[in-house]
């Protein structure tokens, strides 16, 4: 249960709220969060029609703060402490403000996790500001690092960092408007300060003087995404009671049913947990679509694209035939943050990433989620899981295409990947070390044995590299693009559900036109 200090005091409960809680089975914090979350869609729609740049900044900041304050109360003011500290660092110490923002924002988030025991509180349905603080931490680090990058020549930066760097210090209004952004702290997704500024000012890819960049009517795609979120919410409410974390911790699961039944229950419990995040992200995406921030230009046929900040693709997660590609489809935007602000920053420009780079990124992702063993067990397991996926991929490159695409083999891979994902994700759901180990022990550690066996076979019997007739100029172009044999060198780093509606993954090769 969340503590009852300054973090949790806010608006006293009203009679209609208590009645709604008793009728719906939701806790007060869940009810308020849901109301604020749905209201953020309307706020996004209004933001698109505010006529002036300053007006859009003010509306976004004020509405965003109120939407956060309603469910989280005085805990919202904790956003001001690391935010003000980061802004002072940006004003006074430009060439090191990115590092200083890390040293301010990340420890403050860890303190919030410790004070609230956030993971355990979220399992009980008690939401606090810590979830929003997680999103805020991503933004504080990103905006400070981007401003620090603005003092560097573009040639010293990776292509993405050169595009997203900030040449000028944001004003206090611009800075806090970006941080609160019309209630987007409720569930994300993460987006860059550079993009947000261009959107508010209708510049760059939102330049209203260019008909191709003018924001079209978002009504139908916004409603479609909102309905998608509502369907996921209904599934979550129907499945979470009979198939929640308590089931995995029960004697029934661990002792009274056979192995095939346990594996099935692992899958359906994982699906129920993921529906919560599908709901949260779909509604958040709906808000961004209605605001126009999610507008991503037009395709070759002239059809508007609304996929700039798509955070998950349900079919590609649930029916995934490649473990590494899972990362490109689950919490994509936070994954991009991990990629560009952790993974690539740990890798020298002229070097290839190593497993140590992957492990450190996973560790940071785990700490970002909270200080529970289940988080860390998942991220440690997922690092091995994706190494196994890469080993399978290397073997497949030596097979004829008709074998790789053979329908029964593809179905087998989808089933295997679902088994491994839900096996690993069970630790993220139950959190406590003893419960995690008891669940894995009840299925004989089959997930770990499977992925470790694949890696061991790949080391003992490495696959032969396929022979390819690659022209020198094409090989040089691939090397310059950071690819090996046509495949991007950087491995994927996923992360599964968080106690609040946000969780990170490190997406593979996801640029805006691929989202």
Which residue is it, tokens 């609230």?
A: 116
- Cβ(87)–Cβ(147) under 8 Å? no
Which residue would you say has higher pLDDT here, 194 or 22? 194
Q: Give the pLDDT confidence score for residue 74 in this predicted structure.
A: 87
Q: What are phi and psi of 488, to 5 degrees?
A: -60, 135
Predicted confidence at residue 155, as pLDDT, reads 85
Q: How many residues does the chain have?
A: 515
The percent of residues in the chain predicted with pLDDT above 90, rounded, is 49
- Lookup: tokens for 256: 């009274």
**In which element (H, E) is residue 484 found?**
strand 483-484
Q: What is the mean pLDDT of residues 189-206?
A: 94
pLDDT surpassing 80 at residue 7: no
Rounded distance between C-alpha atoms, residue 465 and residue 475, angstroms: 15
Question: What global pTM score does this model have?
Answer: 0.83
Which residues does 47 contact at the CB level (< 8 Å), separation at least 6? 56, 59, 60, 63, 182, 291
- Looking at residue 515, its pLDDT comes to 34
Query: In angstroms, rounded to a whole number, what is the distance separating the alpha carbons of residues 357 and 491?
Result: 10
For 54-77, give one letter per residue: b (16+ CB within 10 A) or e. Answer: eebbebbbebbbebbbbbbbebbe
The model's pLDDT over 327-380, given as tens digits with 9 standing for 90+, comes to 788 888 988 999 999 999 988 877 788 878 888 887 898 888 888 888 889 888
Q: Averaging pLDDT over each range in 168-177, 230-239, 318-327, 419-428, which range is the top one? A: 168-177
Segment 398-417, tens digit of pLDDT: 889 898 889 999 999 999 99
* pLDDT interval class at 494 (50, 70, 90): very low
The Cα–Cα gap between 319 and 305 comes to 24
> Binning pLDDT at 50, 70 and 90, where does residue 326 land?
confident
Closest CA to 352 of 464, 227, 441, 482: 482
Cβ(133)–Cβ(109) below 8 Å:
yes
Give yes or no for a contact between 463 and 398, defined as CB atoms under 8 angstroms apart. yes
| Residues whose CB falls within 8 Å of the CB of residue 342, separated by 6 or more in sequence, listed in order | 360, 361, 364, 506
Question: If you average pLDDT over residues 151-166, what whole number do you get?
Answer: 91
pLDDT tens for 11-48 read 788 888 888 887 777 788 888 888 998 999 999 999 99
**Which pair of tokens denotes residue 473?**
């100029």
Q: Is the dihedral of CA 152, 153, 157, 158 positive or negative?
A: positive
Active site residues: 369
pLDDT at 271 over 50: yes
Rounded Cα–Cα distance for residues 24 and 282 (Å): 21
| pLDDT greater than 90 at residue 141 | yes
pLDDT tops 70 at residue 433 = yes
Percentage of the chain beyond pLDDT 70 is 86
Give pLDDT, residue 511.
Answer: 36
Q: What is the mean pLDDT of the chain?
A: 84
For residue 478, the model assigns a pLDDT of: 46
Helices marked H in 300-372 — which ranges? 314-318, 332-338, 355-369
- Interval 383-401 mean pLDDT: 89
> Which of 86, 76, 429 shows the shortest CA–CA distance to 265?
429
Nearest to 72 by CA among 23, 116, 124: 116
Over the stretch 58-69, which tens digit does the pLDDT of each residue have? 999 999 999 999
What CA–CA distance (Å, rounded) separates 497 from 103?
A: 25
Residue 497's pLDDT band (cuts 50, 70, 90): very low
Rg of the chain over CA atoms, in angstroms?
23
pLDDT tens digits for range 94-119 = 999 999 999 999 999 998 888 776 55
Domain ranges of the chain: 16-206, 219-514
pLDDT at 262: 93
pLDDT (0 to 100) of residue 454:
93
**pLDDT beyond 50 at 6:** no
pLDDT at 23: 77
């Amino acid at each position: 249960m969340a503590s009852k200090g300054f973090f949790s005091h806010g608006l006293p409960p009203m009679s209609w709220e208590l009645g709604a809680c008793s009728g719906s089975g939701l806790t007060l914090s869940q009810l308020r969060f849901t109301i604020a979350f749905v209201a953020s869609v309307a706020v996004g729609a209004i933001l698109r029609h505010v006529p002036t740049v300053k007006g859009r900044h003010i509306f976004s900041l004020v509405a965003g703060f109120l939407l956060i304050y309603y469910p989280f109360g005085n805990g919202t003011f904790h956003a001001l402490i690391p935010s003000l500290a980061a802004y002072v660092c940006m004003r006074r110490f430009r060439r090191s403000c990115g590092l200083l923002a890390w040293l301010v924002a990340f420890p403050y988030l860890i303190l919030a996790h410790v004070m609230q025991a956030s993971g355990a509180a979220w399992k009980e349905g008690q939401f606090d500001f810590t979830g929003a603080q997680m999103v805020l931490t991503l933004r504080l680090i990103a905006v400070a690092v981007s401003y620090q990058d603005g003092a560097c020549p573009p040639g010293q930066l990776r292509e993405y960092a050169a595009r997203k760097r900030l040449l000028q210090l944001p004003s206090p209004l611009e800075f806090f408007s970006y941080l609160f952004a019309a209630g987007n702290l409720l569930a994300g997704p993460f987006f860059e300060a550079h993009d947000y500024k261009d959107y508010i000012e209708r510049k760059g890819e939102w330049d209203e003087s260019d008909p191709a960049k003018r924001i079209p009517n978002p009504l139908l795609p916004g409603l479609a995404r909102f309905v998608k979120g509502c369907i996921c919410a209904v599934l979550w409410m129907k499945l979470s009671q009979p198939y929640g974390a308590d089931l995995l911790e029960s004697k029934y699961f661990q002792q009274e049913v056979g192995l095939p039944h346990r594996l099935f229950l692992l899958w359906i419990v994982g699906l129920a947990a993921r529906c919560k995040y599908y709901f949260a992200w779909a509604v958040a995406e709906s808000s961004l679509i209605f605001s126009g921030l999610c507008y991503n230009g037009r395709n070759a046929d002239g059809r508007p694209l609304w996929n700039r900040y798509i955070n998950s693709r349900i079919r590609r997660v649930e029916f995934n035939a490649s473990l590494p590609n899972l990362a490109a489809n689950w919490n994509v935007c936070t994954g991009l943050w991990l990629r560009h602000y952790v993974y690539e920053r740990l890798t020298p420009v002229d070097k290839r990433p190593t497993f140590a780079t992957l492990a450190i990124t996973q560790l940071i992702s785990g700490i970002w989620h909270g200080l529970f063993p289940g988080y860390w067990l998942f991220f440690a397991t997922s690092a091995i899981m994706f190494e196994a996926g890469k080993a399978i991929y290397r073997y497949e490159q030596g097979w004829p295409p008709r074998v790789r695409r053979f329908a029964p083999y593809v179905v087998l891979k989808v089933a295997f990947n679902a088994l491994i994902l839900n096996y690993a994700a069970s630790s993220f759901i139950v959190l406590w070390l003893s419960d995690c180990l008891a669940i894995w022990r009840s299925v004989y550690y089959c997930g770990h044995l499977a992925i470790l066996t694949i890696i061991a076979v790949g080391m003992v019997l490495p696959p032969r590299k396929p022979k390819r007739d690659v022209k020198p100029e094409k090989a040089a172009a691939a090397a310059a693009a950071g690819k090996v044999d046509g495949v991007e060198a950087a491995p994927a780093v996923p992360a599964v559900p968080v106690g609040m509606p946000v969780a990170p993954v490190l997406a593979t090769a996801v640029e805006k036109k691929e989202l």
